[in-house]
A and B are shown apart, each in its own frame.
Chain A
Amino acid sequence: MLRVSNLTVDIGPRRIVTNIALSVAAGETVGIVGESGSGKSITALCLMGLLPNGARVVSGTATLTHNNEVTQLIGLTEKQLSTIRGKRIAMVFQEPMTSLNPAMRCGAQVTEAVTLHQKVTGKKAEAIALNLLSEMQLPDPQKAFSSYPHQLSGGQKQRVMIAIALAGNPQLLIADEPTTALDVTVQKGILQLFNYLRDKHQMGIIFISHDLGVIKEVANRVAVMYRGDIVETGSTQQVLSSPNHPYTQGLIACKPPMEGRPLKLPTVADFVAGTPPASTLESAESRAQLHESIYAQEPLLTVSNAGVKYVTKRNLFGRPVKHFTAVNSISFQLFKGETLGLVGESGSGKTTLGRTLLKLIEEATGEVCYNGHSIAKFGRADMKSFRRQVQLIFQDPFSALNPRLTVGQALAEPLRVHGICRSAADINQRVNELLELVALPAEAQYRYPHEFSGGQRQRIVIARALALNPKVIVCDEIVSALDVSVQAQILNLLNKLKAELGLTYIFISHDLSVVRYMSNRILVMQHGNLVELTDADALYTNPQTDYTKRLIGSIPGRE
């Protein structure tokens, strides 16, 4: 139905998409996988005639065939495009939070698309729109119809987006990372919806994702994009089980597996360079031994009844009348040398709990004891030393570094603040050491953060946290913003540092396979409550609560 050949797209002087060919049949989902910057989104936008300013199609054709009628898609005028957009090809975007007009009710936005494409108006169009919303399996279509986008959850908004896309009965639906911003449990529902709609309407779907697990759930065929080129296509089954191209092999291998624990994760770079590493799994005995020694110690950090309540509403006199409980009376212990995973859906209180441990949240109640001493009773000197020993790394490496400081200055700052190094020579030496620890070249210290990629920046942030020789590092979603291939490198780095420096991690993530790979024990949170705290492997093989079972069952791409 859709046939793309020799498509080449430039943005300015840079070639983004190189000579690609792609075809989609009716009733088929084709997955496009690749990392950020590989050209997958640009390919999709090109088919819609929505290329960003400065981008242009250099060569290539794309045709859409329906009922023996062939339509060209490249080089159309705005007028011609408006007969295609929404009617023949529709698109669903990644960010449901920002992709809907905040000042219009959801129903009106769906109705608008219906009136545009179906030659109906008024009550009739509204009825069709409402029908579409119920087809999207929204819990309360009537309510969603009269709601503003900010009143709906992320998953519900994405369902509204899909309803808008289907309003014109398109032959081809392009979904660009439609579930990336959503929780796994919500993602599962959306993926099922895509499969249901494909079969019911016999649509062709192009499903763009960076996550092979997601692709496995929805795609019949898959195309792997790497640096603007489609390096491999084939049925999903075949590509995932016996990949030909080294990049695909790397992509599959670098994802933390659900069984076994390689001592070092293979990385895409290894495969592309043609030297895939032999993977050695951590043996069950050595792991059991390790756990025995870890958990025989006195706990490093003891948290009792930690709670955080935020005031959400005050009365006229400023007295709080409504609260939101972000963390509800959680108690646990952290032992030296372990990695404690913290999982839960967004809004479950993971980040808040992590910050409570560092005494970064004013509203926190309960007690946190470090080495047997309550941090609430720390004086200035004790607090300063505590701050040095417990460090925090954030999710977004782009905003965590001051753009006006060179990397060297950023690393030297904590050294100076805590008086660890006094002379310039000492500082210089320590900065070099730190960069070496995170495998960055020494000359990196003279450069500014914007000159580095996301993965490199995350290394810099890690180096900065290490500058003070901490004992504990709280890692808050630190690989979530990174591509899978880079993610494996950072995870390997963290594990290497842990072994070399005897660190203890609290590893916060929504990605269950990453958490399983990294952690010794895992703490599951839901709505601010502790649901389960147990050994990482035991949690996955034998989950005790329904919530954990549901979380694990939602991991995409599991047999």
Chain B
Amino acid sequence: MLLLKKILYSILVTWGVVTLVFGLFNLIPGDPARMMMGQRTDSASLAAVRRDLGLDRSLAAQYAKYINDLSPISIHNPNNPKSYIYLDSSSYTPYTKPIKLSNSRVVILKLPYLRRSYQSQQTVAHIVKQTLPNTFILAFTAMGFATIVGIALGIFSAIKKDTLADRVIIFLSAIGMSLPSFFAAILFAWLFAYVLGDITGLNLTGNLWVVDDFGEGVHLQLKNLILPAITLGIRPLAVIVQLSRSSMLETLSQDFIRTARAKGLSFTKTLWRHALRNSLNPVITAISGWFASLMAGVIFIEYIFGWKGLGYVMVNALNSFDVPLVIGSVITISIVFVIINLIVDSIYAWLDPRVRMQ
């Protein structure tokens, strides 16, 4: 029931984001048809393209088509290729056979259709499918690194409270928190890939898959992941250290820890069995929040390190005014974000049984 409510809510949020994006991109200046065709086109072909994109319709009609395209359940006209909502098999990939409503209307279940890139003429879905995994790999590696190292360091410094080690950790995490990611990216790239490049063997830029020098095979280059992931993970790492430290300290001062000690459990066992799980709640919340900023941070990092992810594509699309691709990337990122939040909420309920009550 709780989950159902959350899912419904998520759908609502997604719809809001989609509408907002539509509104924003209709406000920015520039004629998409002209951008697509270049400067030297005659007005006849411009008009043709415009009709093709539906730009000659009213804003309401454009919005309706836009939502119809994005919705997994949509209404189409299967017969008339001239129709605004013609079921074009090159655009839509239905899961099921079209369900007939009337002679000129069918309902289909499909993947959201994100249109085609003005530049490459590929479907946006195709581009997203190619690049999103790269972004995921980068983001999850960064977050995994930040979470594991962050919680470990946080708990370590909570146990060693007020010792030198604790102070050093706190000091470093304060620096990490205030370091802007684009600056950290340049600094790290310069330091580890240029100055210390011979020792570390890392490259300034590079993708996960690299075509070798002879242009023959594609090789997996995991080491290219190291620098972008660490750079991206620094700020969440710093925050997680501080959060898990203070959360652990608070948990350790609570009554049930005293109960566990009075039971006869050793300190280590008390820590693992009783303190850890209870102290992780705020940390989990922070991690979910950080995924959002990570998605924003990933754009810079990918660009600086030449990592072929969604962020890299998005920056290039923005430069060349490739509106469908930008819209597609933004919507993809926001849907990812909504899904992550949904997952985190479920983890939260699992960690703290009291949440399930509400």
Contacts and interface: CB of A to CB of B under 8 A. Distances in A.
A168 B258 CA distance: 17
Interface residues of B, number: 24
B262 A85 contact: yes
A93 B264 contact: no
Given A112-B273, A316-B8, A101 B260 contact: yes
B325 to A, nearest CB: 36
A283 interface: no
Nearest to A94: B255
Contacts of A90: 262-263
A188 interface: no
Interface in A33-66: 48, 50
A100 interface: yes
B261 interface: yes
Contact of A78 (B259, B266, B354): B266
A50 B352 contact: no
A101 B264 contact: no
B264 A98 contact: no
Given A86-B263, A116-B265, A93 B258 contact: yes
Contact of B353 (A82, A99, A150): A150
Nearest to A161: B259
A167 B264 CA distance: 11
Looking at chain B's contact residues, the main secondary structure is: helix
A85 B258 CA distance: 11
B263 A101 contact: no
B259, B260, B352: most-surrounded residue (chain A CB, <10 A): B259
B274 interface: yes
Contacts of A50: 258, 261-262
B259 A103 contact: no
A102 B256 contact: yes
A90 B266 CA distance: 15
B259 A99 contact: yes
B354 A117 contact: no
A103 B8 contact: no
A148 B350 CA distance: 13
Interface in B334-358: 351-354, 357
B255 A148 contact: no
Nearest to A116: B264
B278 interface: yes
Contact of A93 (B259, B265, B266, B267): B259
Nearest to B8: A316
Nearest to A167: B263
B1 to A, nearest CB: 10
B167 interface: no
Contact of A103 (B260, B261, B352): B352
B40 interface: no
A99 B260 CA distance: 9
B262 A48 contact: yes
B259 A100 contact: yes
Interface in A82-114: 82-87, 90-91, 93, 95, 98-104, 112-113
Contacts of A93: 255, 258-259, 262
Given A82-B266, A113-B264, A102 B259 contact: no
A168 B263 CA distance: 8
Given A85-B264, A113-B264, A98 B255 contact: yes
Given A93-B259, A103-B352, 5 more contacts: A95-B255, A99-B255, A102-B256, A102-B354, A104-B273
Shortest 8 CB-CB distances between A and B: which pairs? A86-B264, A85-B264, A98-B255, A99-B255, A148-B353, A91-B262, A86-B263, A101-B256
Interface of A: 48, 50, 78, 82-87, 90-91, 93, 95, 98-104, 112-113, 116-117, 148, 150, 161, 164-165, 167-168, 316
26 contacts: A50-B261, A82-B266, A83-B264, A85-B261, A86-B263, A86-B264, A91-B262, A93-B258, A93-B259, A93-B262, A98-B255, A99-B255, A99-B256, A99-B259, A101-B256, A102-B353, A104-B273, A112-B263, A116-B264, A148-B354, A161-B259, A164-B259, A164-B263, A165-B262, A168-B264, A316-B8
